[in-house]
Amino acid sequence: MSRLLLPALAFGLLAGTLSAAPVKDSAPTPGAKLRQALDETGDVVFEGKTLAEVAAFFKNKVKAEVRYDTAAMMGLGIDPNAPTFAVKVRDGKIRDGLKAVLSPANLSYGVVGGAIFIGPEETVIQQQMRQRVNLDGEATTLSALLKSLADESGANVVLDPRIEENAKKAAIKLKLTDVPLETAVRLTAEVAGFGTVRMNNVLFVTSEERAERLKAVADGPTPIPAAPVPFPAVPPGTPAIAPLPPAAGGR
């Protein structure tokens, strides 16, 4: 049996401790539940809004915290307090609406545990890959443990389907305390006799030989931020954005 615990994320992304175990037919974890919510369809329509208002709108849509990196945005010349954000997506996935409103500002988003984090792409990847985890695995398969890590963290932890059968047979006995997600995945794969490469925001677990070959085109380990960055939550009292009414004669 294995037990996976994700403590409060670095820099205050989550207020509590997430926990998961690779149990069949268990309830969706916060990360998995949020990704499902982002796949729901609906209208995402507004204009002339600040980032705080945008965050409030999507918080209301997906019923999860939405945070952003003010310092990184100001460094890129993006004022999160300026009413410059607009989008018009009808009957589309919520995640597509979020991408559409962020892309013009060169911003990205990622699921980090049970929250959405907004910022420049590299900052988002850092937050996903370096969120802190505890791992207490005993006689658990690599396949089940990686799935738990992916579901609980919200990050893209992908198992090469060509090694899936072997991964289901690979028993893991490993205990880690307060380590970055990326480190936990790499060490878990190593103990099972496999390799890991990071390709943008994906941790890909494959054979050691294939991982070695992929190093030439893969990204290196996620760098450690120079200093913690404050991630403000949606300011108290910020109203959710009401979608604009449809134009006359159309949806």
Would you state the pLDDT for residue 139? 66
Helices and strands per DSSP (H, E), number in the chain: 9, 12
Backbone angles phi, psi at 18, to 5 degrees: -90, 145
* Whole-structure pTM value: 0.77
DSSP-derived secondary structure letter, 245? P
- Cα torsion 174, 178, 180, 184 to 10°: value is 0
Q: How far apart are CA 151 and CA 174, in angstroms?
A: 19
* Tens digit of each residue's pLDDT, the chain (251 residues): 444 444 433 333 333 333 334 545 567 888 889 999 999 999 999 999 999 999 999 999 999 999 987 877 888 888 888 999 999 999 999 999 999 999 998 899 999 988 999 998 998 999 999 998 888 777 688 998 898 899 888 999 999 999 999 998 888 888 888 899 999 999 999 999 999 999 999 999 999 999 999 999 988 887 766 544 444 444 455 444 433 334 444 44
Would you state the pLDDT for residue 248? 46
Would you state the pLDDT for residue 27? 74
Going along the chain from its start, the domains and CATH numbers come out as: 2-22+131-214 (3.55.50.30)
- Alpha carbon 234 to its chain centroid, in Å, reads 18
Would you state the pLDDT for residue 133? 83
Query: CA gyration radius for the chain?
Result: 19
Would you state the pLDDT for residue 42? 94
